[in-house]
Structure 1
């Protein structure tokens, strides 16, 4: 046992302290909101791309909210600003989808991509709110939670008002 050292290696503490300093620099970085946005956007785009493989992606089943909203959006885009059934659902979402029908002819992919971008923007906004109210660590936790929260990913990838 003689000559044998106990405890951490001499360089190990320096390595750990470097990692802590890097983490602290990242936490204090101005790039953190952008990283949160990009992480959230990446997850949302992955989710939308995985949904695109499903048959119901561009052919919503009859009776579901998506089918009603697509029908209403096509009617609004066609010039009928008050189609029958508009008040059976949240009317502003039908107008939101109608914008994409008019601009792209597509009520399926384009709105989901726009919803993904808007949903990813929530992460840096919550980071800023959390940082102002509780400090950078609270902001990071709030922003990270918003970026990876599964129900956010789910609802931002569907054609329905939440």
Structure 2
């Protein structure tokens, strides 16, 4: 059972189970609120783990992906794109495509695929957290599971 940390009526409770908190006189509503909050935090962490099945972690990598998408859109809008004008995409020539246009096309296809998967993960995360908020007791919170999208085998 999940252990909770909370303060109630000036007393700190660290690493107590819901049953222990209730037995100590903490109102069930207070315990349920703390339990919901802790469970929703777990859902947020699991959503991030699920995202990492598809993407590379790190703020720098996220910035790189965003820049590649920006450059890819510019390449496809340009009449005669010059690779030197698109350094992030140029780094992938010969890997993600034979030329700058092919790389741009690949990047945008990958971004579109991620948008679908990312949206499915976000919908699952939000729906699950909403279900937790609607749960009437701890047993109901415990019964809520998330059906995360799965990577292809």
TM-score over 0.5 for the pair: no
Higher relative contact order (CA 8 A, sep 6+): 1
What's the TM-score once normalised by structure 2's chain length?
0.37
TM-score for the superposition, normalised by structure 1: 0.36
Pick the structure with more helix per residue: 1
Of Structure 1 and Structure 2, which has the larger fraction of its residues in strand?
2
